[in-house]
Chains A and B, each alone.
Chain A
């Protein structure tokens, strides 16, 4: 206290010591629970370990070569692609329309936000089973009962190879749209009123304002939602495991996403090496998407 000026340097040193002290446990955690497992997954992908055997046999890139020949891998990868390509655009478009109209409605904003957002924070296991029930054939399933009552034929939904994936996707979008809406709404609210006022003076109609002001200014929000959304849809798992017969991603693998195939390979067949190799590929896909995002964001600035 008394020797304050002289102790400037020693105060800085004390602060540095505390900083390192604060970081000891976290650094141990991140090294042991994040980085070491990441490298271990890369290593496992080069072995054919089945968790029971004592030795891990190093087999080089054979897992990767086998993956390239694996029809189920390509099937699940293409299913995953379908989830992303069909699901995300619909979810984004709906989320944006909701945000746009809720912003303009003026009344009931808090209420609408709550109603549309609540599915997003509900347990996906619960959601999946509720929807699985809604999709059942009559006299159990509500959707089919409604179809019959308005004179339309019953649909197979989850039991059909052509409809099951889209049925699961509808559930996913229902659960997801509130998140997109909240982020879009925050983005819309962040746009200064002055832009709109100036545009009005120039005689712009609401369509001009939407396409010339709102959407261009929301570009960072849109990029963010596309990237996080792509990653979220790439990782679809829980709903498929809970909505398909015995969690197999059927009928006939028609709904099975990559992550479910990875899960089954690792924890039902105990093909740890093979499953790890697939997680490495998933990691590389996500890395690529993140890098593209960084690139796009940077060119924005």
Chain B
């Protein structure tokens, strides 16, 4: 009975590992090919015959990749900061204050989660066109500055913060803004870091809206730039793989650094729905 169980566990482990290797296979090939040149590109081998950084050099010199990378970084970070401030402020307000219209505000914000982005991009584009927001950072960023999802998430977390702590701050003479900032925010740090990571990764990978609102090559975000770059270099697959690697590696690094928070955060928000 006991050995039977051990055998099952071992088989399970092996099958999961094999399947896992298959999952990683496209990434391994992508990275390997980004270090290959010439005829070697057509070689199935994972290890390049003569590893070279030449593709990366060419990518940097013959395209606007550095710009796109920076644009994505600026957009991702700014939107994330905005989401952290506003979603937590609104979540806090909706969880800790009593005022007229509270329920309506909450339901309205919640209902925005049901509106598909596809429906909003056309009016956003018309708006951006009229207000000259096309080809500006603001144009890429404005739709994501606050989110119903983040507000909902933060409200849940703030409701577990005891009111006594906030009242203690009031007795010490802190105003409501400082009570939110100095007392409540530090208590929900795990939720804030989960929200920050989702927001950053989501914006880093966002494609449709940045594609619509940017015409100037220098204003592309990384996914948009990558899409156009790949279309242009289609027959040079080693360049396509190099571009894909550059877009992928930062997310990999972030994942390795924050793996625990990311997975916990997904599970948490997912289960709560």
A interface with B by C-beta (< 8 Å): 1, 11-12, 14-16, 18-20, 22-23, 25-27, 29-30, 33-38, 40-41, 44, 51, 98, 101-102, 104-108, 110-119, 121-127, 129-131, 133-134, 136, 139-140, 142, 145-146, 174, 179, 182-183, 185-187, 190, 221, 224, 228, 231, 235, 237-238, 241-242, 246-247, 259, 262-263, 266-267, 272, 275-276, 279-280, 282-283, 286-287, 290
Contact = CB atoms under 8 A, between A and B. Distances in A.
Interface of B: 9, 12-13, 15-17, 19-20, 23-24, 26-27, 29-30, 33, 42, 44, 86, 89-90, 92-93, 97-99, 102, 105, 108-109, 112, 114-127, 129, 142-143, 145-146, 170, 173, 175-177, 180, 201, 204-205, 207-208, 212, 222-224, 226-227, 230-231, 237, 240-241, 243-245, 247-248, 251-252, 255, 259, 262-263, 266-268, 270-271, 273
Contacts of B122: 41, 44, 266, 272, 275-276, 279
Contacts of A35: 108, 112
Given A123-B222, A125-B227, A283-B115, A37 B124 contact: yes
B93 A23 contact: yes
A1 B204 CA distance: 49
A15 B42 CA distance: 68
Given A23-B90, A101-B12, A224-B270, A142 B44 contact: yes
Contacts of A280: 119
A259 to B, nearest CB: 5
23 contacts: A11-B170, A19-B97, A23-B93, A25-B86, A26-B109, A40-B123, A41-B120, A51-B129, A101-B12, A102-B16, A104-B9, A114-B263, A118-B252, A123-B251, A125-B205, A126-B243, A129-B226, A130-B29, A182-B267, A182-B270, A185-B267, A279-B122, A283-B115
B240 to A, nearest CB: 5
A28 B244 CA distance: 38
B114 to A, nearest CB: 5
A96 to B, nearest CB: 14
